[in-house]
Structure 1
Amino acid sequence: MPTGVAIRDVRGQLFDAAERVLLRDGPSALTSRAVTTEAGCAKGVLHRHFADFDAFLAALVQDRIARVEAVAADLRASAGTGTVAGLLTRALLDLFEPVAVAVVSLVTSRDGLRARLREVRPAGVPVLTDAATALASYLATERELGRIAADADVDTLAPTLIGAVHMLFADRQAPPETADVGRVVTAVVAGVVGPSTANGPSASG
């Protein structure tokens, strides 16, 4: 795109470009020049909208966190329907879509980005921590509905689910099968979920 040509929704186009670079080439290839080249705009466009590249990356992570929050809202709204393991499996597949997994790798690989994020998020790994919070909130609702044990420690179950399922997604060329995620979920919640709400076909519904 020629310099000086206006771009609609600059932030969105830059984020989309960054995600493509991240998925294709990995965190180490994500530079301001790579992003603007991918977006087809002048390098100065990014710096007109963000204080520096770490500020841009922090905004990219926050955008991804907003998407986690949307999945969380849908999951909470589904409480009491289907099966607990099935709902968790679908939510985890949504939470760990390829860009989210790549963003976690980005955060863990960039000291400057982590420092910037700690200014507003002093603890936890962004995206993973938010996903765990989402699952804990959903599980607490299911506990109130009596679909999981009254003494279930949802604040431990949620990060256990996140950690176990993230292991399935990390460093893979292709995401795991739904049934594989379902088996992990079913194993983690087996001790607190009653037989009637434990799982469904392939632990997916």
Structure 2
Amino acid sequence: MPTGVALHDPRAQLVAAAERLLATSGAAALTSRAVTDEAGVAKGVLHRHFADFDDFLAALVRARIQQADGAGEHLVATAGSGTVVGNVSAYLTVTLDPVALAVVALVTARDELRRRLRETTPEGLPLLVEITAALATYLTAEQSSGRVAPAAEPRYLAMTVVGTGHLMFAGELGARPDDAAVREVVESVLVGVLR
């Protein structure tokens, strides 16, 4: 006799539950019990689909990286349209949302999770590395179109924008910044290289 409801995609359901918890309660609240409770499933479901909790967390981080990669592809496609400051500001707002900030905190706090993520992100801080790489690709495209100065260094500009953006979105200003504050910070970093 069946003891529960069939799950259509339990891995995705668990990841979505973890993202909801990260958005509302932060990285410290993320436990296997909290995730399964939020997903409305038995605790054994997580362990049936993942080797252990760090395996689950690695899947969660990789899902966020995949989302960031999609946003990065969209950003690169905007090269030559809109404004560079507007495009970069919108990208930061999308990729450095509360869940992403909690994921970065989670990766920073868990040695075993970082070790497992080295398989796909061998250097740097997973998620921030991918966000930075996409931004550098975009700035390189804008450089090719003549909207960013030829002498600019897209990789270093991207590192500066993402690092500053991370601090700002993590609460450097006391709260999540509004659009005007994001644009102001992006413009202050890029002002010397925009044409």
Q: TM-score range by the shorter chain?
A: over 0.9
2:124 aligns to what? 124
Q: Distance in 2 between matches of 1:5 and 1:48?
A: 15
Q: Distance in 2 between matches of 1:171 and 1:107?
A: 18
Q: Which has the higher contact order (CA 8 A, sep 6+)?
A: 1
**Deviation of residue 5 (structure 1)?**
2.1
Q: Distance in 2 between matches of 1:32 and 1:171?
A: 27
2:182 aligns to what? 181
Unaligned runs of 5+ in 2: none
1:101 aligns to what? 101
2:14 aligns to what? 14
Q: Distance in 1 between matches of 2:162 and 2:73?
A: 17
Give the paired residue count.
Answer: 193
What is the one-letter code of the residue matched to 2:33?
R
Bigger shift: 100-109 or 54-63?
100-109
**Shift >6 Å, 4+ stretches:** none
Contact in 1 for aligned 2:108/2:114 (Cα 8 Å): yes
Q: Distance in 1 between matches of 2:164 and 2:86?
A: 16
Alpha-carbon RMSD: 1.5
CA 143–187 in structure 1, closer or farther in 2 if over 3 Å, else same: same
2:26 aligns to what? 26
Q: Distance in 1 between matches of 2:105 and 2:33?
A: 20
Contact in 2 for aligned 1:3/1:42 (Cα 8 Å): no
Q: Distance in 2 between matches of 1:113 and 1:140?
A: 32
Deviation string, structure 1 residues 8-61 (Cα, Å, up to 9, x no partner): 121121011111222233222211111111111111111111111100000000
Q: TM-score, normalised by structure 2?
A: 0.94
1:190 aligns to what? 191
